[in-house]
Structure 1
Amino acid sequence: MLLWIIFAGLTTIALAAVLWPYLFPRKAEMPSAEEGAFDAAVYRDQLEELEADAARGLISAAEAEAARVEISRRLLAAADQERAKSRSGKEVSSRARARKASPAPTGRLRPAVAVLAAALVLPLLSLSLYLTYGSPALPDQPLAQRLAAAQQEQKIDVLIRKVEERLQKHPED
């Protein structure tokens, strides 16, 4: 009985770990209004790191210039998005455009129902398979008994081999 309680507890813990994100989704960590400012700060930091790498001689002057142009282009794009957002009050970031371009999900209910169904079906299916093909009524067999039975089988195999050898040496017996 204790084993079944342990199995039920482990199943409950596993189901809770799987269902937790669906039942309690995380909130967005950063509001969309701060995304442009955050992007600009990241690009400025990248420019500083690039200058430090170029000063230490880790990258060549041509590579530094190419990277500087690329980071500056991204920084200008982020600044343009911030200006456009402040003028119009609308979100124009690439993430927002991607969200608008992708079809809206039909709701959180469908994935949650699928996960909940799988979370209920899998344990019930495994329990029914065990009850059908397993041996739940079989009493426990302690390790000492299993080891003794294995040793007894080995003794019988040795005795049979000895008798066969004796018969080969003395076929008239």
Structure 2
Amino acid sequence: MLFWVLAALLTLAAALAVMRPFLRRKKSDRPGAAHDLAVYRDQLAELDQEVKRGLVSETDAAEARAEIGRRILRLSQSASDGVASESGGRLERIIAIAAILAVPALSWGLYSALGSPGLPSMPLQARLNGDPAHAPLEDLIARAEAYLADHPDDARGWETLAPVYARMGRFADAVAAYRRTIAIAGANSEREAGLGEAMVGQSGGIITAEAEAAFNRALAADESNPRARFFIGLARAQEGKRDASRAIWQDMMSGLPDDSPWKAAAAQAIAGLDGMAAQNPPVAAKNPSEEQLAAAQQMAPEERQQMIKGMVASLDAKLRQNPNDPEGWSRLLRSYVVLGREDDAVRALERGLAALGPETAEGKSLSELAETLGISGAQVNK
């Protein structure tokens, strides 16, 4: 109840502060009209006395009377304008005050009808102490983070939280969680492969030297680790070594069951290699000319962009399952623009705004990113 009393008082104070200028009466800067009129009448009477005494000729008196008459007319006109101005100003003040009072009244009325004023507040601690089965993912993560803050040496907790961070697109947190797990419990193939994948996500799909080192450590512990093998093949493809990457993926597929997601990822990556080879067929084996070397240098970034298509498709699929991921939508939008897939970028923006809400802070941030990337609102509304 105290909250509503304070809210009402603050609303009233704000309304009064805005209304204050309209409640003041404007003071007239002109002298009193009645006083001026009395002076002019006295001047006419004195003029008549001077004519009778012969001090002023009749001609001069007529001119003086005419001048005084003109002054009296101007005074009458000014008084009429002042009355009209005061009447108009009074009406404007009434309209302004009514509009100011209508804003809080309308707002409170709409909230009473559409909002939930009777809903009790639920502090963070109360949400954390609730039933985990009914808690949203963000609250579960907050619980885990609060627990790990008090138990920083719980390797199992960090190992559980790391892939969750990665699925949410919080790759820096995922990298930190994997590193913490390895520091406490030691390295194994799955932890090193997870660390490498989180690094790849953090670098926007590029296999860095640090990420490749993590994958190599994973393969040293278990040479059949499909995650590490897939990304090692992707690293070779990003270097332009298509045959090496194809061999890695084909060998990897031969040892995986048909329902393995890594087998499907490898098949999609090989298909991407075949499509790129069709667009850029190899030339006969001979010493390349300077022009061919320059062309190859120019094609290298395009090849790298082509090879991350599989990862972009994977991110797209994850966002279809879990669309409440602002960072994921930003990365997907940026990836499609980098790949030159403008239509897919427009559709991704539409889906992202529908999932996040165009008027939310996340939706507005996504729209601003789209503007900087050259995806205008007109394209989205086509």
Question: What TM-score bracket applies, with the shorter chain setting the length?
Answer: 0.3 to 0.5
Structure with higher Rg: it is: 2
Scaled by the length of structure 1, the TM-score of the pair is 0.43
Of structures 1 and 2, the one with the larger relative CO (CA 8 A, separation 6+) is 1
